[in-house]
Structure 1
Amino acid sequence: MSTLERARCRLQAHPLALDAALAAGALVCMVAGSFVQPHGERDVNWILRAPDPFSLLLIVLGAMALVFRRSAPMAVLAVTGGLALVESITGDPRAPVAMCAVIALFTVAATTDRPTTWRVGLLTMTVLTGASMLAGPLPWYAQENLAILAWTGIGATAGDAVRSRRAVVQAIRDRADRAERTREEEARRRVAEERLRIARDLHDVVAHHIALVNVQAGVAAHVMDKRPDQAKEALAHVREASRSALNELRATVGLLRQSGDPEAPTEPAPGLDRLDELAGTFRSAGLQVEVARADQDTALPAAVDLAAYRVIQEALTNVQKHAGSAAKAEVSVVRVGPHIEVTVLDDGRPAQDGVPGTGGGHGLLGMRERVTALRGTLTTGPRYGGGFRVHAILPVKTRTVAAGERGEPV
């Protein structure tokens, strides 16, 4: 923060001190103006003169009233206008007492609405100028009378301009605050929708495993007496399917399906085994996609397999939206120790028509939610030289799967 901004903050924190300083400055200007007067018809020369004591008294009273201009603007305008009216009729016509009324009129215009400014400004201008022209000691066409007309008009206009500028700045700030709140609410809504989508997908996975359990249990019951070896094999499949279903149920804790959602599909949730099909879909849409896999056909838990598929799907969708159909994307799936790493790169070339793609910008939130739910990590950002990079690291085995294989309770 600069020195000027710090000084302005201090003055705004102490408005009475600011008004007192303004009143002191106006008092100095008015007193200095009361000691000089123009002399000469063609060449104007300023000479010193002895001010009228009564005019000095009015000047001091007007300056004192300005101290309270912010707390009682209308009352201060009435007091300073009355002092200027008295001075213009009975005192020295060249004493600058009207400066107090101009400052007070500026304050009224800056703190009220435009209709009030028009009414009060015209009234002040008419009364002071008319009194000076009709009852003052100088001719009605004297420049001092015209100066009162001009300065009161300038004071009202300047105050109205300041008020309008403050209103515009406040409107801009309010609009920015509303836009920020709207963005935050939209982001929260997108996250909630993505969590519900995750819950639906995981529900489909669990439903698939439960269906397998039902079928294998029926087989075991049918062949238990005649073919016990086949019954044991069916029961092993039941155990494996039930363990997978339990893992998926644990992953869906806290995520609920809302009423009115579409019916769940009967086919299993997609995974990396459908990666080639996914890439072909984008190729048919005009996007150049290259796929490289070095995961050694690793068998992934259903939740991890689904999350990897969704990350690639969302990343390629973003490439098509934001980079255009002329862009080139590279997808890689690599097994690195106990993790599976999914990377989607694009070269960031613009669309052929030169119009950038549009999108809500919330797809990254959904990807992050999926990866974080599985205790993985997701990094996204622009690439050096152009393009974008999405990199997800997912565990090959979740904690519940690892605990089940060790025989621990899950």
Structure 2
Amino acid sequence: MSGKAPARQVRQFLTRRPRPLVLLDSALAVLLCVGLLWADARSGTHHAGGGEAALRTAGIVLAALAVAARRLWPRVSFAVASVCAFTVAAPGGAPQVSLCVAVTAYTIAGTADYVFWWVPPGFAGLLVAAGIGIGRVSSGWLAVLVANVAIVCVGWFAGLAARERRNRIAAAAEREAEREREHAARIRQAAIDERLVIARELHDIVAHSMSLIAVRAGVARMVMDSDPAQVEETFGIVETTTRQALHEMRLLVEVLRHEHAADPALTPTPGLADTAALAEQIRSADVDLRLDVRGTARPLPAAVDLSAYRIAQEALTNVVRHAAPTRATLRIEYRTGEVVVEVTDSGPSEPHRRKGPVPPSAAAPATAAGHGLIGMRERAALFDGHLRAGPHGDGFRVRALLRTGETGPP
């Protein structure tokens, strides 16, 4: 175990940023230092005094150290390397110290943004040019001057290009992250919309069935002693309605449990073709209902068909809650690209009006109708339609128009 601890410490040291890059810069600095010292020794100034030689050597070493420390202190390293280039070249030393200036220029150009971007390379180029111009190590010193200033500029512009590339990559990554966030937001919104659809389905199933059961139970309580046969019939209706509601709720729960279920039989999707059975249920709750179908009945898109059925169901449920016993009309009109569902009742019958309000056991809470109207309006709006509800004579009328998206004749 004692042998593994040093190895782990070395591995942590090498992998902890920015240390691996600093180590790489240190290796580069050593290579530059050795190469520049060798170039200085061959520059033809070996006959110069010991003081100048020591100055040039110190300048080369400091410039190499600036390269090693360029990621830790980029601006300081750039300034030190530029001054060292002048210090080495002015006494006639190797002008190649401009390589250290170029490396540090690359670093600061790639890590910072400058309003006056030309100032740092201009400062460094001026120092390099001044040093080479003073030293004049050979007859071709002008070409050497131009070449070394160009090296500094190349390092600077390479840093600018690297920073621009990193900015583009970062911008692309940000755009990708934004797309992912938007995609996640769409998924969340789809889940919310799906929950709203499920909530509407549960409301329609439960509200319709419970309203029928409440009305029939109230009737049974009032005729319990005088008409046992009607009580028995009422209990049969209550049992049938309860079983049907439980069946639809069980199918809805199965759909929730099996998100990718392919069996369409699992999905409770009644439609306008089922309005005859719905009318029979409503008639069993003391509503004289007349079914009026206009136009040529045709298959509608599944979502439109379900919403139209649910609107008719909710409107008729409200008739049972607030007007039974009464007369009502369910009118379904098929138009080109549209379907109209209209439920009209004539209000409570005269004997029912004289009796006063509906008993609490047979009436729904007042808020239920309000939520029902909101749900019906939302269903109509989903298909670019509208819903109008209000008094009509002594009764009430609900009229919904849904657009089917069809273009041909009905």
TM-score, normalization by structure 2: 0.52
1:17 aligns with 2:23: yes
Map 1:381-400 onto structure 2 (within 5 A): none
Partner of 2:129: 129
Structure 2 regions of 5+ residues with no counterpart?
1-13, 254-267, 275-295, 303-312, 314-410
Q: Which has the higher helix share?
A: 2
Query: Is it true that 1:271 corresponds to 2:277 in the alignment?
Result: no
Percent of aligned pairs with the same amino acid: 28
Equivalent residues, number: 252
Residues 248 and 235 (structure 1), Cα distance of their counterparts in 2 relative to 1, 3 Å cut? same
SS of match in other structure, 1:224: coil
The amino acid that maps onto 2:33 is L
> Which residue in 1 is equivalent to 2:87?
86
Q: CA deviation at 1:238?
A: 2.2
Q: 1: distance between equivalents of 2:75 and 2:116? A: 11
Larger Rg: 2
Equivalent position of 2:196 in the other structure:
196
- Counterpart AA for 1:86: T
Q: Secondary structure at the match of 1:142?
A: helix
Cα separation, 1, equivalents of 2:297 and 2:32: 78
How do 1:250-265 residues align onto structure 2 when only pairs under 5 Å count? none
Q: Distance in 1 between matches of 2:149 and 2:249?
A: 83
Cα 1:279–1:215 shift into 2, 3 Å: same
1:34 maps onto 2:45 in alignment: no
Q: Provide the rounded CA distance (Å) in 2 between the counterparts of 1:91 and 1:131.
A: 8
Q: Distance in 2 between matches of 1:98 and 1:149?
A: 8
Question: Would the alpha carbon gap of residues 166 and 279 (structure 1) be closer, same or farther in structure 2, given more than 3 Å must change?
Answer: farther
CA contact (8 A) 1:81 1:98 kept: yes
The match for 2:300 is 281
Structure 1: gaps spanning 5 or more residues: 1-7, 38-47, 254-268, 284-301, 303-410
SS of 2:72 mapped into structure 1: coil
Taking the aligned partners of 1:166 and 1:213, their CA distance within structure 2 comes to 69
User: Which whole-Å CA distance do the structure 2 matches of 1:120 and 1:251 have between them?
Assistant: 74
How far apart are the structure 1 equivalents of 2:19 and 2:239?
72
Q: TM-score by structure 1 length?
A: 0.52
Give, in angstroms, the shift of residue 206 of structure 1: 0.9
SS of match in other structure, 1:280: coil
Cα deviation 1:309-347 (Å, max 9, x = unaligned) = xxxxxxxxxxxxxxxxxxxxxxxxxxxxxxxxxxxxxxx
Per-residue CA shift, 1:57-80, capped at 9, x if unaligned?
322221122211111111111111
Q: Deviations over 1:353-392 (max 9, x none)?
A: xxxxxxxxxxxxxxxxxxxxxxxxxxxxxxxxxxxxxxxx
Q: How large is the Cα RMSD of the aligned pairs? A: 3.9
Contact residue 209 and residue 245 of structure 2 kept, 8 A: yes
**SS of aligned partner of 1:97:** helix
The DSSP-based 3-state class of the residue aligned with 2:90 is helix
1:144 Cα offset (Å):
1.2
| TM-superposition CA deviations, 1:43-96 (whole Å, max 9, x none) | xxxxx996974333322221122211111111111111111111221232x442
Secondary structure of 2:225's aligned partner: coil
Structure 1 residues 17 and 155, CA, compared in 2 at 3 Å: closer, same or farther? same
Tell me if structure 2 keeps the 8 A contact 1:34–1:51: no
Deviation at 1:173, TM superposition (A): 1.1
Structure 1 outlier segments of 4+, above 4 Å: 8-13, 48-52, 134-141, 242-253, 272-275
